[in-house]
Amino acid sequence: MHPLRFQQCEIRLSDVYALKDINLEIAPGEHWVLLGANGSGKSALAAALVGEGQLVSGARSALPRSQLVSFEVQRALIEAEREKDDSDITDEVFIGTLAREVLAGGSPDITHQLVEAFGFSDKLNLGFRNLSTGETRKLLLIRAIAAEPELLVLDEPFDGLDVDATAQLVDQLLRLAQATPSPMTIVLVLNRLDELPDWVSHAALMVEGRIAHQGVIKEALPIIRQLLQMQRDDLVIPASELADRVPTLAPGPLVKLISGCVAYGDSVIFDKLDWQVNPGEHWQVVGPNGSGKTCLLNLITGDHPQCYVNDIRVVGYQRGQGESIWDLKQHMGYVSTALQWEYRVSISLANVIISGFYDSIGLYSKATENQQAIAMQWLELLGLSDRAHQPFNQCSYGDQRLLLIARAMVKHPQLLILDEPCLGLDEVNRQLVLSLIEIICASSETTVLYVNHHAGDRIKGIERVLNMVDYA
Amino acid sequence: MANYFNSLSLREQLAQLGKCEFMNPSEFADGANYLKGKKLVVVGCGAQGLNQGLNLRDSGLDVSYTLRASAIAEKRQSWKNATDNGFTVGTYDELIPTADLVLNLTPDKQHTAVVEEIVPLMKRDSCLAYSHGFNIVEEGMQVREDITVIMVAPKCPGTEVREEYKRGFGVPTLIAVHENNDPRGEGLALAKAYAAGTGGHKAGVLMSSFIAEVKSDLMGEQTILCGMLQTGSLLCFDKMVEQGVEAGYAAKLVQYGWETVTEALKHGGVTNMLDRLSNPAKIKSYDLAEELKVIMRPLYEKHMDDIMSGHFSQTMMEDWANDDVNLLGWRKETGESAFEKTAAADVEISDQEYFDHGVLMVAMVKAGVELAYETMVSAGIKEESAYYESLHETPLIANTIARKKLFEMNNTISDTAEYGCYLYNHACLPLLGDFMKTIDTDVIGRGLGLNDFSVDNQRLIEVNDDLRSHSVEKIGKVLRGYMGTMKKIV
């Protein structure tokens, strides 16, 4: 490839967002990392590298053949599937594009090799929409690499991958980065400095849509680290409502699953899972991608329809005995990637937090003054108070995630279910969220169920571990 | 079986047609409780059947699915849909006799066969629910006397019924009780609980009658919804090509134009749709719509009259009995039209350009919505029904055309809608022949091309007043208000 050069560029990514003063040169064989806080523009720059956005001013060299993997690409694919879903007019339930069809365009040899390496072969005939977050991510990585681009841009590639898949991706990238004679040029967007591979040669730090610092990794990194460093002391979680809107629960386990099973046709996700969660006992659920962690949590939240064919008791309700889903949800707070994809409404940041009191996506009830005051305290805590009235759907992925975490915590639920809560969060916000979870675990009101792939994200107070591998 | 509507006295007919009122949210304080502990069995597991069932179960109700024995034995898609979602599935013989409420969510055309098969199996004093009243009203289906017959019809596609429920909201829903079949007077309580179980009570419930639902639904679908958009598509496309507009561009403008302009309609009615135009274009579009209304009014009246007299459904059922000869012939014809065969060009058309270059399309939508609405209201149908069956549903069909063009649109809508659509189209094309001769590309394809956007103040005020004071705009504002804040889905 030729060097990719941006000179004094302003690039408009949407009606409300633009990158400014972009000066950057990426030479063939260089490997870059883009760093920055949530909402700083690092994903925007990654998108601009593959030609997205409109060049308002400045000069840009010809674009190399490139591939981008990011949450936005993942989201766009899911959107496209939604568009293709004609079930509302055909009255037939939609299966969707198969995983193998998503991979159809790439080099067959490389595709085959990567499918094997990522252990993906038994997923190829599944509908794309039925894959878990981690599996979708693997699929997109395989597709991007198999397209043999000159420039490969990966926006938070490790987020959502299990330990094996992360190791596999690290190997694959090392091989591509060091291929002779012509290595692939790789740009990584990372939130976590502990994921930085040692073959990365250059770094850039984004701040408010501009490149704040860039250079050869050895010189740039110490400065960037310093710029990223922030201390968060004396965290206090805003109180819940005083009103006794939610009835108190009878004593007893919060969750009791007996011989739990989820299966689609002949394909069994997990089976014979006995699990009891008592109040005050916090759990971490671990297991590789596709092992059913999210399915299990959805049995508890009631979002998985097979909760009705399982022997499961949740917050005092034996499921399938005439209880309404809203009876259960009032006792639970919940965050997951699927929730973020479903939260497609243009309400304000403050109202997103308030919707946690009503367990709704969007807000259909008039908020009390107390609820509004609590929402403002949360926004303050998240550093978003000046944006309280902006629309949610114009926030960056990481900011949306922070808000949904606040939405889940806002009513101090008896059961707080956090399915990979830190996906998409930068270093600072990750620390913030982990600290918040720690405080909640230490309080006596809330019991936490937590899924996280990163060993480094262990939380003090979460002692019990459920390993899905035991139930495959 | 005899047409039920025609068996009633004029007095009864008018009373039934005029039934449609918005129910007070306080009437749903009991939620789905009336159905708690009762056994609900759904017949059919398509998108409506599956998604309604998921909602009802999440509201604490006992739901299972019954399918034909062959669908179960062959593990057909409907069987998979139900079992993968953890529902009990059984044959008619196994489940219908256990049901307190049977939800018939099969396509219209199968109703007679399905109902004749299930009613003898239904237990004494149980309830049969429809989501569309054609079978009762037009085919005159007689249901056993001890059985309560109700209708619950969410006014949105099945996937949306589910999505909105999961958000903690719902979709507007129409309910009705068949007066001939309400032996214990519990029809309304059952219909309300069913509507609440699907989440419909949060977005607003209209209490109507089988007759009002059928007559207004037929009228809406064959005139403005499918008929006008089909006729408009063919006329606009042919006119543009004849005047030298690039065919690919013309195909795209038409295919996606309806969706774009009716999106504005959905959010703010006819007024908002015309407000998206420049002032001169708005006045132009208004004038075209006035002209169209004069030309097309007799056609709308004929459709309404034929629907009321039963002539429409009779001819259609004759065609059903004759192996759909007419329907299939017309469908083939649609597939061969120039618009259908021209692929949309790969050009960017901005949201605003669809309005600016589609002044005639905006006029056609305005004229069609208003005529359908006015004709229904003058035939004794209440404003609320007329609004839902004209303006409210137009964006749904427009969206279908954007995704599937005309041939597939006709293929996927109900047979009643398709049959009526062709009748309308065949009459409307020649009717607008002379009018189309007066049309040039300034109103379809190229835009007015003005440098000077000035207009006469008095004229603009007249047009704006007239737009805003139309009855469909007044009732629309009220009904959209009930639905809560219109949610912009990104």
Residue with the larger pLDDT of the pair B11 and A163: B11
Interchain proximity A364–B58, CB inside 8 Å? no
Burial degree of B56 (CB within 10 A; 0-12, 13-18, 19+): buried
Locate A37 and state its tokens.
């806080």
DSSP A208: T
Contact predicate A440/A416, CB 8 Å = yes
Give the mean pLDDT of B225-253: 97
pTM score: 0.79
List of residues 6+ apart from A157 with CB closer than 8 A: A69, A137, A141, A169, A188
Note whether residue A154 is domain-resident: yes
Q: What whole-number distance in Å separates Cα of residue B327 and Cα of residue B210?
A: 26
Regarding whether B456 and B312 lie in a shared domain, the answer is yes
Give residue A320's pLDDT band: very low, low, confident or very high (50, 70, 90).
very high
Q: What whole-number distance in Å separates Cα of residue B374 and Cα of residue B395?
A: 19
For chain B, how far is it from start to end, CA to CA, in angstroms? 48
Count of structural domains, chain A: 2
DSSP B428: H
Note whether residue B85 is domain-resident: yes
Q: Which residues in A lie closer than 8 A to residue B259 (C-beta atoms)?
A: none
Regarding whether A319 and A266 lie in a shared domain, the answer is yes
Regarding whether B187 and B241 lie in a shared domain, the answer is no
Q: What whole-number distance in Å separates Cα of residue B203 and Cα of residue B174?
A: 11
pLDDT digits (tens, 9 = 90+) for B365-375: 999 999 999 99
Write down the residue that tokens 């849509």 correspond to: A209
Residues linked to residue B41 through DSSP beta bridges, in sequence order = B64, B102
Residue that is last in its domain, among B208, B241, B273: B208
Q: What whole-number distance in Å separates Cα of residue A174 and Cα of residue A169?
A: 8
Spell out a b/e string for A286-299, using b for 16 or more CB atoms within 10 Å of the CB, else e: bbbbbbbbbbbbbb
Regarding whether A221 and A261 lie in a shared domain, the answer is no
Q: What is the amino acid identity at position B170?
A: G
List of residues 6+ apart from B245 with CB closer than 8 A: B441, B445, B446
Note whether residue A242 is domain-resident: no
Locate A402 and state its tokens.
């922070």
CATH number at residue A75: 3.40.50.300
Q: Closest chain B residue to A88 measured between Cα atoms?
A: B157
To the nearest whole angstrom, how far is the Cα of B98 from the nearest Cα of chain A? 18
Q: Closest chain A residue to B396 measured between Cα atoms?
A: A89
Tell me: pLDDT of B397 over 80.
yes
Give the mean pLDDT of B190-204: 94
For chain A, how far is it from start to end, CA to CA, in angstroms? 45
Regarding whether B270 and B189 lie in a shared domain, the answer is no
Tell me: pLDDT of A95 over 80.
no
Regarding whether B449 and B350 lie in a shared domain, the answer is yes
Interchain proximity B47–A93, CB inside 8 Å? yes
Write down the residue that tokens 């000069």 correspond to: A59
Tell me: pLDDT of B316 over 50.
yes
Residue that is last in its domain, among B163, B179, B208: B208
Tell me: pLDDT of B489 over 70.
no
Interchain proximity A324–B31, CB inside 8 Å? yes
Phi–psi pair at A204, nearest 5 degrees: -135, 145
Residue B488: per-residue pLDDT: 32
Regarding whether B322 and B264 lie in a shared domain, the answer is yes
Regarding whether B220 and B199 lie in a shared domain, the answer is no
Regarding whether A264 and A172 lie in a shared domain, the answer is no
Spell out a b/e string for A232-267, using b for 16 or more CB atoms within 10 Å of the CB, else e: eeeeebbebeeeeeeeeeeeebbbbbeebbbbeeee
Regarding whether B234 and B184 lie in a shared domain, the answer is no
Residue A235: per-residue pLDDT: 72
Q: What whole-number distance in Å separates Cα of residue A214 and Cα of residue A221?
A: 9
Regarding whether B228 and B111 lie in a shared domain, the answer is no
Contact predicate B180/B128, CB 8 Å = no
In percent, the amount of chain B with pLDDT more than 70 equals: 98
Regarding whether A348 and A204 lie in a shared domain, the answer is no
Spell out a b/e string for A403-428, using b for 16 or more CB atoms within 10 Å of the CB, else e: bbbbbbbbbbbbbbbbbbbbbbbbbb
B 36-55 near A (Cβ less than 8 A): 36-37, 45-48, 50, 54
Out of B36, B47, B87, the one facing A88 most closely (by C-beta) is B47
Radius of gyration of chain B (CA): 23
Residue B133: per-residue pLDDT: 92
Count of structural domains, chain B: 2
Regarding whether A360 and A276 lie in a shared domain, the answer is yes
Residues linked to residue A447 through DSSP beta bridges, in sequence order = A415
> Which residues of B are the active-site residues?
132
To the nearest whole angstrom, how far is the Cα of A188 from the nearest Cα of chain B? 28
SS3 at position A330: coil
Give the distance from CA B166 to its chain's centroid. 23
Alpha-carbon distances, residue A440 vs A231, A280, A461, B220 (angstroms) = 20, 10, 9, 55
Mutation pick from A299, A325, A340, A341 vs chain B, by most beta carbons of B within 10 Å, is: A325
Contact predicate B219/B303, CB 8 Å = yes
Note whether residue B1 is domain-resident: no
Regarding whether A175 and A263 lie in a shared domain, the answer is no
Contact predicate B427/B299, CB 8 Å = yes
Residue A294: per-residue pLDDT: 92
Residue A55: per-residue pLDDT: 92
Q: What is the mean pLDDT of chain B?
A: 93
Phi–psi pair at B455, nearest 5 degrees: -140, 165
Give the mean pLDDT of A35-54: 90
A461 is in which domain, residue-wise?
A: 255-471
Give the mean pLDDT of B445-463: 93
Q: What whole-number distance in Å separates Cα of residue B231 and Cα of residue B251?
A: 14
Residue A75: per-residue pLDDT: 85
Tell me: pLDDT of B485 over 80.
no
Q: What whole-number distance in Å separates Cα of residue A161 and Cα of residue A141?
A: 11
Interchain proximity A305–B54, CB inside 8 Å? yes
Residues linked to residue A213 through DSSP beta bridges, in sequence order = A205
Question: Chain A within 8 Å of B488 (Cβ-Cβ)?
Answer: yes
Rounding to the nearest 10 degrees, give the CA dihedral for residues A205, A206, A207, A212.
50
List of residues 6+ apart from B286 with CB closer than 8 A: B274, B363, B366, B463, B466, B467
List of residues 6+ apart from A169 with CB closer than 8 A: A141, A157, A158, A161
Regarding whether A215 and A267 lie in a shared domain, the answer is no
pLDDT digits (tens, 9 = 90+) for B140-183: 999 999 999 999 999 888 888 998 899 998 988 999 999 999 99
Locate B276 and state its tokens.
């998206």
Tell me: pLDDT of B323 over 60.
yes
Q: Which residues in B lie closer than 8 A to residue A361 (C-beta atoms)?
A: 166-168
In this structure, the number of other CB atoms found within 10 A of the CB of residue A456 comes to 11
Note whether residue B417 is domain-resident: yes
Question: Chain A within 8 Å of B157 (Cβ-Cβ)?
Answer: yes
Note whether residue B230 is domain-resident: yes
Contact predicate B229/B401, CB 8 Å = yes
Radius of gyration of chain A (CA): 23
Give the distance from CA A111 to its chain's centroid. 25
Q: What whole-number distance in Å separates Cα of residue A257 and Cα of residue B154?
A: 35
CATH number at residue B49: 3.40.50.720
Rounding to the nearest 10 degrees, give the CA dihedral for residues B296, B302, B308, B309.
180
Give the distance from CA B10 to its chain's centroid. 27
SS3 at position A342: helix
Note whether residue B392 is domain-resident: yes
Q: What whole-number distance in Å separates Cα of residue B396 and Cα of residue B403?
A: 11
Give the mean pLDDT of B356-362: 97
Q: Closest chain B residue to A320 measured between Cα atoms?
A: B60
Locate A244 and state its tokens.
């006794």
Interchain proximity B157–A87, CB inside 8 Å? yes
Give residue B483's pLDDT band: very low, low, confident or very high (50, 70, 90).
low
B 88-127 near A (Cβ less than 8 A): 107
Q: Which residues in B lie closer than 8 A to residue A358 (C-beta atoms)?
A: 168
Regarding whether A268 and A192 lie in a shared domain, the answer is no
Q: What whole-number distance in Å separates Cα of residue A302 and Cα of residue A306?
A: 9
Chain A interface with B: residues with Cβ < 8 Å? 83, 85-93, 264-265, 302-303, 305-309, 322-327, 342, 344-346, 358-362, 364, 393
- Please tell me whether the peptide bond between A149 and the residue prior to it is cis, using omega within 30 degrees of 0: no
Q: Closest chain A residue to B483 measured between Cα atoms?
A: A364
Regarding whether B91 and B162 lie in a shared domain, the answer is yes
Phi–psi pair at B194, nearest 5 degrees: -60, -50
Regarding whether A155 and A301 lie in a shared domain, the answer is no
Note whether residue B6 is domain-resident: no
Give residue B199's pLDDT band: very low, low, confident or very high (50, 70, 90).
very high
Give residue B486's pLDDT band: very low, low, confident or very high (50, 70, 90).
very low
Regarding whether A147 and A91 lie in a shared domain, the answer is yes
Phi–psi pair at A366, nearest 5 degrees: -80, 125
Rounding to the nearest 10 degrees, give the CA dihedral for residues B151, B156, B159, B161.
-60
Out of A90, A308, A359, the one facing B86 most closely (by C-beta) is A308
Interchain proximity A344–B489, CB inside 8 Å? yes
Regarding whether B256 and B183 lie in a shared domain, the answer is no
Residue B487: per-residue pLDDT: 38
Contact predicate A380/A388, CB 8 Å = no
Residue that is last in its domain, among A228, A243, A269: A228
Q: What whole-number distance in Å separates Cα of residue B303 and Cα of residue B220?
A: 10
Phi-psi region of B448 (alpha: psi -120 to 50; beta: other; left: phi over 0): alpha
Residue A129: per-residue pLDDT: 81
Regarding whether A362 and A436 lie in a shared domain, the answer is yes
Note whether residue B317 is domain-resident: yes
pLDDT digits (tens, 9 = 90+) for A10-33: 999 887 788 999 999 999 989 999
Q: What whole-number distance in Å separates Cα of residue B3 and Cα of residue B141?
A: 9
Note whether residue A239 is domain-resident: no
Q: In 3D, which of A278, A424, A403 has the Cα closest to residue A347?
A: A403
DSSP B28: G
Note whether residue B9 is domain-resident: no
Give the mean pLDDT of A316-345: 91
Give residue A242's pLDDT band: very low, low, confident or very high (50, 70, 90).
low
Residue that is last in its domain, among B208, B233, B248: B208
Residue B41: per-residue pLDDT: 98
Note whether residue A248 is domain-resident: no
Residue B238: per-residue pLDDT: 97
Q: Which residues in A lie closer than 8 A to residue B81 (C-beta atoms)?
A: 93
Regarding whether B59 and B85 lie in a shared domain, the answer is yes
Regarding whether B239 and B190 lie in a shared domain, the answer is no
CATH number at residue B304: 1.10.1040.10
B225 is in which domain, residue-wise?
A: 212-482
Q: What order of strands is seen across the sheet that includes strand B205-208?
A: B20-22, B205-208, B173-177, B148-154, B127-130, B101-104, B39-43, B62-66, B89-90
Give residue A396's pLDDT band: very low, low, confident or very high (50, 70, 90).
confident
SS3 at position A313: strand
Kindly give the pairing relationship between strand A202-207 and strand A210-216. antiparallel
